[in-house]
A and B are shown apart, each in its own frame.
Chain A
Amino acid sequence: MMNNQGRPTNIDNVAALSGDRIDTFTGNQALEQEEKLIYEIGDTARSGVDLPDVPEAQSRLGGLERDGEIGLPGLSEPEAMRHYTRLSRQNYAIDMGLYPLGSCTMKHNPRLNEKVTRLPGLCDIHPLQPQSTVQGAFDLIDTLAHWLKELTGMPAVAMSPKAGAHGELCGMMAIRAAHDKAGEKQRTIVLAPESAHGTNPATAALCGYKVKAIPATEDGRVDLEALKAALGPDVAAIMLTNPNTCGLFERDIRKIADAVHEAGAYFYCDGANFNAIVGKVRPGDLGVDCMHINLHKTFSTPHGGGGPGAGPVVFSEALAPFIPVPYVVMNEDGFEMVEHVGESSSFGRMTAFHGQMGMFVRALAYMMSHGADGLRQVAEDSVLNANYILASLQDVMTPSFDGPCMHEALFDDRFLKGTGVETLDFAKAMIDEGYHPMTMYFPLVVHGAMLIEPTETESKQSLDQFIGMMRHLVERATSGDKDRFSGAPYLAPRRRLDETTAARKPVLRWTPEISAPNDTAAAAE
């Protein structure tokens, strides 16, 4: 059997594994090539760009000319091509194989989206061009806003937040503004379940709130009684993820919403897991007051090694008046972008210009390709795939909770008990099998968490191979083959990296002292 990086996976002898690489002069291993830093191969006098001549003109820099070398290395175009191509080959990506990162949603990224995003009429326009020259762009934003409102059953949306966590901030600022306007400044506490994404408490704190944790029940949901006990005139809002980070739907969500509203607080829903319910359930019908939507998760805009994202926020009637500028409105002459707070009760501006247009285009292209029917199928297939994994692994791994999951399946490390294999080791062994590991140690409410999210774009064949691989690793772990795990990965571009030293003595930029310790070519000289 070959894994998806083309290496034989049937390696029985761990000793042979470490000797898998033969010593080469270059440090390269055939197609797997080492690549030095631009600082080790470039030259400040070299350039890969052929610029026109500098016209004659008198300087207006007022004596502020930069002198002295900056130290920026340049590469010729072919050198740059090789450098970045070689680097790219040291990355795992969804285009290469299953990427089961729970709570992150790594699904297929259609290239149609990239193509339309690069139409000059969409990418080569300036945010401060006269509004009359960008009516198509406003229409596009307005159309996307319409889709988001229909899919969530919410009447208003703020488009400008740049990412999910920025959207959280947007929602919490609107809540704060609404309370302030109502004269309820005593509301200083935000409730967040123990299982909340770390961004939730960080966001609440950034908004000036104190955070109070709400415990989870035995079955992985918010403890309704504990929540009710915590509610009071000092609570501004609850921040809840639904489906939650245990991969479960909050059964009591209507009761939670009612209790929160009765206490005069607002219900913020973290929408990171919206793809589990899109087209099946509208958050507006559940009593949500505001929710951010990670366009880069639910609607497939690529993550690009960490971003960019986009985090529009939908709002209920109660919070709609406070949404940040800028926003698009339609009037007799066409679309207009409202850019100033002016007379409105908007809480302000969250970013220069108006959000992540490039992500809007991709997300809308994805939505239109799927349509209302396809998006509903997205939710069903993502839930089906996750439950298929849960059902296929529950006899050998330990699911954390009973019953069906939503779009991600949560296991914990009880099945590894007594094997000497830790969750981390297990994950690193998956790398040798050609897979990106699942999310580990999150949510924090279960010990040694393993959160697996296959998404809807995986085929049954791909899931079956993944399941087979996982069963194989479980068998290895429980049969005492500990070394295979504790030393893993053996076959990746790097073995396990020393993160402790990196944090203790942080080296965050290149200096001449940082040379490659494995520079065999230099050693040979």
Chain B
Amino acid sequence: MRYLPLTPEDRAQMLAKIGVSHIDELFRDVPKEALLDKPVNLPPHATEMQVEADFRAFAARNLAAGDAPFFIGGGAYRHHVPATVDYMIQRGEFLTAYTPYQPEISQGTLQALFEFQTQVAQIFGMDVANASMYDGSTAAAEAVLMARRITRRKKAIISGSLHPQYIDVINCTTAFTEDVTVINPVAVDGVEDLIGQIDDETSCVVVQNPDFFGNLQDFSQLAEAVHEKKALLIVVVTEVVSLGAIKSPGEMGADIVVGEGQSLGVGLNFGGPYVGLFATKQQYVRQMPGRLCGVTKDADGKRGFVLTLSTREQHIRREKATSNICTNAGLCTLAFSIHMTLLGEAGFRKLAKINHAKAAILANRLAALDGVEVLNKTFFNEFTVKLPRQAAPVVEELVERGVLGGLPVSRLYPDDKALENLLLVAVTETCSDEDLDTLVHELKEVLK
């Protein structure tokens, strides 16, 4: 109980000051029969050594990505995070601060948020970005709701090659307001007729780049068609490192861009915490969900930063707010931003080139294996491979050989027999040449 500073004597003195004789007198409003008279049925307090040992035991039963050649993506990517990032976010002044409600003593967090917003707007090619959502999938759902508010139309058209779990989240979030229609079936090759679906009821079209299967597309024409019907184009980016190499969604005419920022600074973390990125055009700022940080001056005329446009938010607008989001992913935005600042434009572009080149090399080597086909014409650092047999057991056999060899597409589409031979393979700068050799060799063995 080393976290509790009060001594029995302190407690006695404090109770005397309050004017009660027993702590339970302070719980007098609790119905008597509901007040527990002894601790609940859980273990008693444990020492620091013991807790550490218990967690080592949990950890030991997992295969860490760093302990095997690792090729899994599908919306979460393993990138190297510079040591400086993790050191810096552990500084107590960042780690243990709260939401910057008192800007005069929160300038550190606020300035970092302002820099983050600018970086995100730049990589997406948009005017403005907010200061974080929970993750990419919930940000995508918020984008659909935002398009609904702006256009006052109900139909959202969602590409069949959007990450299937993102589709699920959008459907779940909007299910109760009956706003969204998912129109397209799975499009492994990225070719689908989205333009033909757009009508006067359409609020937005949601697409992903690179898409779930790794394909790259230019959405400029789609954007024109969307705008012709006064609807909005929402582009989802689950691998932000790609934007060091490919045209930004803004350049293609997107109105809202959302993304998963986990690739920079955050790490895999078994799915969370991650960081949702959200950017849009200036004209839609007041319809944006989430926190925003803006520039202002203090009473001495010095530049300073504050949370702003809070009249959109739940603590003021309550049921009319743009979103119910309150806590977000503040510390992860900081990690993202520090990583991006360390990279700088030169590093960001080089990182993207390394990712792409390694993926291209691996794709060629896998395509050369008997019975293996690479389905993508284009990709960034992830592509879809068709195997001569079901991918899920192949991945399990690879695990036995010490390789985390990719994501069987069937894990996310359990009901679609046509996809059961597909394997999604992601390559990042953390994959060494030896890792590539190992995967090619072991996959060849497994497929024999």
Contact = CB atoms under 8 A, between A and B. Distances in A.
B344 interface: yes
A110 B2 CA distance: 10
B327 A358 contact: no
Interface string A411-427: 00000000000000001
B155 interface: no
Interface in B149-194: 163, 165-166, 168-169, 171-173, 175-177
Given A54-B354, A109-B96, A349-B169, A119 B55 contact: yes
Contact of A384 (B6, B44, B78, B82): B6
Interface in B12-30: 13-15, 17-20, 23, 25-30
Contact of A202 (B14, B27, B57, B323): B323
Nearest to B171: A348
Contact of B138 (A280, A351, A431): A351
Contact of B45 (A114, A168, A198, A370): A370
A80 B341 CA distance: 7
Given A125-B63, A133-B399, A91 B75 contact: no
Interface string A30-63: 0000010111001111111101101111111111
Given A38-B115, A509-B118, A305 B72 contact: no
Interface in A350-386: 350-359, 361, 365, 367-378, 380-381, 383-385
Contact of A457 (B4, B100, B317): B4
Interface residues of A, number: 209
B246 A140 contact: no
A89 B27 CA distance: 40
Interface stretch (B195-203, B223-231, B374-382, B437-445): B374-382
A165 B325 contact: yes
Given A92-B105, A126-B78, A351-B137, A116 B51 contact: yes
A134 B93 contact: no
Contact of A368 (B43, B306, B351): B43
A460 B18 CA distance: 13
A95 B93 contact: yes
Interface in B269-306: 269-274, 285, 291-306
Contacts, number: 732
Interface stretch (A8-16, A69-77, A222-230, A471-479): A69-77
B294 A371 contact: no
A525 B88 CA distance: 33
25 contacts: A54-B357, A60-B379, A77-B342, A90-B106, A92-B102, A106-B98, A123-B267, A123-B270, A124-B78, A129-B65, A202-B319, A300-B3, A307-B328, A340-B414, A352-B163, A352-B166, A371-B42, A374-B3, A380-B23, A381-B4, A383-B26, A460-B5, A489-B105, A497-B104, A502-B306
Given A198-B313, A254-B31, 6 more contacts: A60-B377, A84-B88, A126-B72, A166-B134, A254-B34, A506-B309
10 tightest A-B CB contacts, nearest first: A74-B344, A304-B331, A121-B59, A306-B330, A353-B271, A136-B61, A95-B92, A127-B271, A348-B172, A371-B45
